[in-house]
């Protein structure tokens, strides 16, 4: 089995200014490809530090992935560090520079420092960048493969995928699943109660907003048995199962609405249009999403949605009665098959003893029946908003697939 060291460069990572999502993604994809991770380290934008990390990786790794430092500025030093560690030349590629300039000129005038991105390590293979301008490089040195990728995740991810086949030594297989509405401990307990073979490895990961991720992992010769085990898990808690791999709640909802021939609209208060934004982030959402009203202020609830002032006076804007009227009114206004309304108290102020910060009500209305859910999630306001939206999305998922909604 190949062993890998993952090196992410950037002083902003080392200093804690940004989250190092690249390391997590690269390590996960390498593991899924059958490559064992020896270490994952971060180094600053310093030539000696990057070179030292690469030299140390050669001691016990046959795959070295370096992310970052391929841009055109003076602190982009990965090419120079790798060339020095391998004692190879950096060669200027004029054809590559022309391609880079041509890509940049579609948006603005190409700067003079594009030449730096056209410097190629001796005997390296170029990795095409379909998103940005910095090409990656793949270098072979004996049994070792070095892969140099840019730092921006939207550029790094497709480039990594394009070279994974060169590393494939797949002795392991895995199945990744997403569940919602079940605590991590309960999911783990359920899995452990099933007849668990010795070759199976199980890992769970709770997220505060998106649900619980379950990863089943086994040697590749047990791939058929692994699939059967995953089916047993789903059969036990089918109502909580969202999908495989990187499937999201919003993708399942949009595809489900489309398959059912249904449309939806939303009326949002505390979430400020986040539910609508999540839905329209999915390609093809225009087929199922009719529109939304962000009724953040009570005057918008009464003047635009036509929620009765008496309802707000008697029950408050954060109440079952208010979200029910919001859902009914937005459905009629936009003429959708379904509607979802949300109202809550995101905080940090605005709560009371009777209605504390973290309280929210969600209503799903289909024109005949309302499904109203009260949730209490006293967390940081944007984490709260995301969790409320995920809960609303899950209510839609359950309705579409004829599962218990509340």
Model-level pTM?
0.76
Domain boundary among 209, 228, 244: 244
Query: Which segments within 68-143 are labelled E, that is strand?
Result: 90-92, 119-121, 125-127, 136-141
Q: How far apart (Å, rounded) are the C-alpha atoms in residues 328 and 333?
A: 9
Side-chain-facing half-sphere of 251: CA atoms under 13 Å? 10
Residue 312: which CATH number?
A: 3.90.950.20
Are 100 and 161 in the same domain?
Answer: yes
pLDDT of residue 188: 93
Give the three-state DSSP class for 288.
coil
Domain count, the chain: 3
pLDDT of residue 209: 87
Are 287 and 235 in the same domain?
Answer: no
Are 13 and 151 in the same domain?
Answer: yes
Domain boundary among 190, 210, 244: 244
Q: What is the mean pLDDT of each run of 10 residues along the chain (406 residues)?
A: 94 93 94 90 96 96 97 94 96 93 84 88 96 94 96 96 80 89 94 91 89 91 94 95 95 98 98 98 98 97 97 97 98 98 95 94 98 95 96 98 95
Asked if 38 and 60 touch (Cβ cutoff 8 Å), the reply is yes
Residue 108: which CATH number?
A: 3.40.980.10
What distances in angstroms separate CA 225 from CA 34, 179, 216, one per listed residue? 18, 21, 11
pLDDT of residue 167: 80
Cis geometry, peptide bond prior to residue 201 (ω within 30 degrees of 0)? no
Asked if 103 and 43 touch (Cβ cutoff 8 Å), the reply is no
Strands, sheet with 63-67, edge to edge from the N-terminal-most edge strand: 36-43, 3-9, 63-67, 144-149, 136-141, 125-127
154 phi, psi to nearest 5 deg: -65, -20
Asked if 49 and 77 touch (Cβ cutoff 8 Å), the reply is no
Asked if 384 and 358 touch (Cβ cutoff 8 Å), the reply is yes
* Residue 123 resides in a domain: yes
**Joined tokens for residue 397:** 């998922």
Task: Tell me which residue range forms the domain holding 220.
Answer: 172-244
* Residue 193 resides in a domain: yes
* Residue 406 resides in a domain: no
Are 390 and 282 in the same domain?
Answer: yes
Q: How far apart (Å, rounded) are the C-alpha atoms in residues 210 and 213?
A: 9
pLDDT of residue 170: 60
109 phi, psi to nearest 5 deg: -65, 135
Helix, strand, coil in percent for the chain, rounding step 5? 40, 25, 35
């Amino acid at each position: 089995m190949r062993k890998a060291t993952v090196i992410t460069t950037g002083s902003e990572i080392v200093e804690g200014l940004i989250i190092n999502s690249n390391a997590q993604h690269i390590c996960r994809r390498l593991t899924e490809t059958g490559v064992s991770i020896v270490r994952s380290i971060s180094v600053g934008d310093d030539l000696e530090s990057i070179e030292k990390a690469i030299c140390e990786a050669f001691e016990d790794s046959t795959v070295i992935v370096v992310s970052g430092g391929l841009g055109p500025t003076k602190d982009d030093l990965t090419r120079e560090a790798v060339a020095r560690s391998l004692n190879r030349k950096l060669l200027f590629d004029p054809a590559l520079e022309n391609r880079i300039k041509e890509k940049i000129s579609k948006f603005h005038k190409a700067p003079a420092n594009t030449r730096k991105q056209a410097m190629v390590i001796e005997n390296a293979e170029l990795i095409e960048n379909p998103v940005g301008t910095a090409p990656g490089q793949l270098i072979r040195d004996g049994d070792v493969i070095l892969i140099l990728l840019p730092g921006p995740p939207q550029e790094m991810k497709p480039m990594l995928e394009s070279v994974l086949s060169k590393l494939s030594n797949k002795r392991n297989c895995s199945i990744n699943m997403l569940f919602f509405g079940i605590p991590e401990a309960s999911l783990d307990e359920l899995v452990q109660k099933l007849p668990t073979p010795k070759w199976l490895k199980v890992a769970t990961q709770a997220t505060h907003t998106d649900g619980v991720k379950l990863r089943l992992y086994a040697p590749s010769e047990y791939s058929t048995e692994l699939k059967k085990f995953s089916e047993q898990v789903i059969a036990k808690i089918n109502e909580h199962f969202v999908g495989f791999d990187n499937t999201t709640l919003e993708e399942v909802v949009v595809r489900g609405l489309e398959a059912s021939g249904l449309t939806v609209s939303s009326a949002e208060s505390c979430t400020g249009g986040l539910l609508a934004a999540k839905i329209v982030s999915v390609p093809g959402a225009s087929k199922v999403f009719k529109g939304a009203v962000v009724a953040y202020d009570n005057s918008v609830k009464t003047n635009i949605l036509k929620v009765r002032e008496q309802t707000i006076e008697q029950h408050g804007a954060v109440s079952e009665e208010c979200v029910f009227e919001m859902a009914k009114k937005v459905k009629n206004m936009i003429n959708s098959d379904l509607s979802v309304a949300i109202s809550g108290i995101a905080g940090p102020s605005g709560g009371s003893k009777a209605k504390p910060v973290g309280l929210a009500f969600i209503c799903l209305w289909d024109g005949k029946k309302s499904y109203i859910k009260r949730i209490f999630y006293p967390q940081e306001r944007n984490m709260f908003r995301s969790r409320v939206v995920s809960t609303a999305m899950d209510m839609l998922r359950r309705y579409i697939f004829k599962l218990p909604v509340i």
